[in-house]
């Protein structure tokens, strides 16, 4: 039995004494011990070495005190497994030297045996579960098919993913073939993580907000729905679409256990759009962690009051930024642990 099961209880919609708290990208660049490892090992070495991934995953549990751990990995290990080369370039981020731009390129993309190509992730899950020793739950994750397509076609990060969108709108048949291959791989990958021992999974649709509401349903949500349908009988699923407040009503009917919300949607609107009876997660602006600790605590308290303590998981509206002071991250977590409903 997991000793601190607040996160899992919130996902089930149970009444809790206080909401649970964790932070997207909590196992990362703002922690000095993480930076020491970063200086020694390149990014994908850290992802592919179970011992390193475990050490990094557990770090914030001991140093910041969050109520759940999220496995240190990256959404781009999935396209790597699918025969799409991905590098991580310092100062640039993801770099794909051979982007997928044509029907012929899509044909070369494979649906792999995830145990062969991504076995190192499952090893990291098992090792991390052992290291956590049932203190807190472990979250596994994957990128949404649309978000993976954005990188695969664009070839790098982008402000508007214009090349990816052009590909979808000029060659929709190839785009849907690619999206389905990513979906099939992601389902197998997440199921393997469940077998390895994760307690919940989250789907990150980081670039969903790039699409119009109609295109979102066509090129993103219907594939996320397939993943939710495949996983929900086995494990709680959290769906997070950054900038996708316009789809919250559809998401709320998906069978997901919780929905992530970013900081551009107020708690009141998020509750209204989702019908008020699904667990929500979010939505503190990551930049607000630059504020003084006392101010952070005041704002977190207000945020919880606005969302309500039940059916709610305190989180950021996106990943923690690399230069946030550790004491500010701790203040964010402490504010939740000290919370008393008015």
| pLDDT band at residue 90 using 50, 70 and 90 as cut-offs | confident
- Establish how many alpha carbons lie within 13 A of residue 90's alpha carbon, considering only the half-sphere containing its beta carbon: 4
Per-residue DSSP letter, 23: -
* Best CA proximity match to 313, nearest among 92, 85, 82, 19: 19
* Best CA proximity match to 153, nearest among 172, 132, 131: 172
The response to whether 318 counts as a known ligand-binding position is yes
Q: pLDDT tens across 232-242, in order?
A: 999 999 999 99
The response to whether 26 counts as a known ligand-binding position is yes
Q: Assign a CATH topology to domain 6-74+105-142+183-214+231-337.
A: TIM Barrel (3.20.20)
CA distance 243 to 226: 21
CA distance 337 to 183: 37
Residue 255: how many other CB atoms lie within 10 Å: 15
List the chain domain ranges: 6-74+105-142+183-214+231-337
Q: pLDDT tens across 98-139, in order?
A: 999 999 999 999 999 999 999 999 999 999 999 999 999 999
What is the structure's pLDDT at 91?
86
Report the predicted TM-score, pTM, of the whole model to 2 decimal places. Answer: 0.97
What is the structure's pLDDT at 340?
84
The alpha carbon of 6 is separated from its chain's Cα centroid by a whole number of angstroms, namely 19
The response to whether 25 counts as a known ligand-binding position is yes
Q: pLDDT tens across 141-179, in order?
A: 999 999 999 999 999 999 999 999 999 999 999 999 999
The response to whether 215 counts as a known ligand-binding position is no
The response to whether 18 counts as a known ligand-binding position is no
The response to whether 310 counts as a known ligand-binding position is no
The response to whether 176 counts as a known ligand-binding position is no
The response to whether 208 counts as a known ligand-binding position is no
* Best CA proximity match to 308, nearest among 104, 44, 13, 86: 13
pLDDT above 80 for 342: no
* Best CA proximity match to 10, nearest among 309, 318, 337, 316: 309
pLDDT above 80 for 192: yes
Residue 48 corresponds to which tokens in the numbers above?
A: 């592919």
Q: Burial, 87: exposed, middle or buried (Cβ in 10 Å; 0-12, 13-18, 19+)? A: middle
What mean pLDDT comes out for the span 19-37? 96
Start-to-end CA distance of the chain, whole Å, equals 31
Pairing of β 69-70 and β 138-143 = parallel
């Amino acid at each position: 039995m997991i000793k601190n099961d607040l996160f899992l209880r919130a996902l089930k919609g149970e009444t809790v004494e206080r909401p649970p708290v964790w932070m997207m990208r909590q196992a990362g660049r703002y922690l000095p011990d993480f930076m020491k490892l970063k200086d020694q090992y390149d990014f994908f070495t850290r992802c592919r070495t179970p011992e390193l991934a475990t050490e990094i995953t557990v770090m914030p549990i001991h140093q910041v005190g969050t109520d759940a751990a999220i496995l240190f990995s990256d959404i781009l290990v999935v396209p790597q497994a699918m025969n799409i080369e991905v590098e991580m370039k310092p100062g640039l981020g993801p770099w794909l030297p051979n982007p997928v731009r044509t029907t012929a390129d899509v044909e070369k993309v494979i649906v792999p045996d995830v145990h062969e190509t991504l076995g190192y992730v499952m090893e990291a899950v098992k090792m991390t579960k052992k290291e956590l020793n049932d203190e807190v739950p472990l979250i596994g994750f994957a990128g949404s098919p649309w978000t993976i397509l954005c990188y695969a076609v664009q070839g790098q990060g982008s402000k508007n993913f214009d090349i990816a969108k052009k590909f979808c709108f000029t060659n929709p048949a190839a785009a849907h073939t690619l999206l389905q291959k990513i979906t099939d791989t992601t389902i197998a990958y997440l199921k393997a993580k469940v077998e390895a021992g994760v307690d919940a999974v989250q789907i990150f649709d980081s670039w969903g907000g790039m699409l119009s509401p109609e295109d979102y349903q066509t090129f993103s949500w219907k594939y996320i729905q397939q993943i939710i349908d495949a996983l929900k009988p086995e494990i709680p699923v959290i769906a997070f679409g950054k900038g996708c407040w316009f789809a919250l009503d559809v998401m709320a009917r998906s069978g997901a256990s919780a929905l992530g919300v970013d900081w551009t949607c107020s708690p009141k609107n998020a509750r209204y759009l989702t019908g008020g009876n699904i667990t929500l997660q979010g939505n503190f602006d990551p930049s607000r962690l630059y504020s003084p600790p006392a101010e952070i605590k005041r704002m977190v308290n207000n945020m919880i009051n606005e969302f309500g303590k039940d059916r709610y998981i305190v989180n950021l509206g996106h990943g923690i930024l690399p230069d946030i002071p550790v004491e500010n991250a701790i203040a964010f977590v402490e504010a939740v642990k000290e919370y008393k409903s008015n």
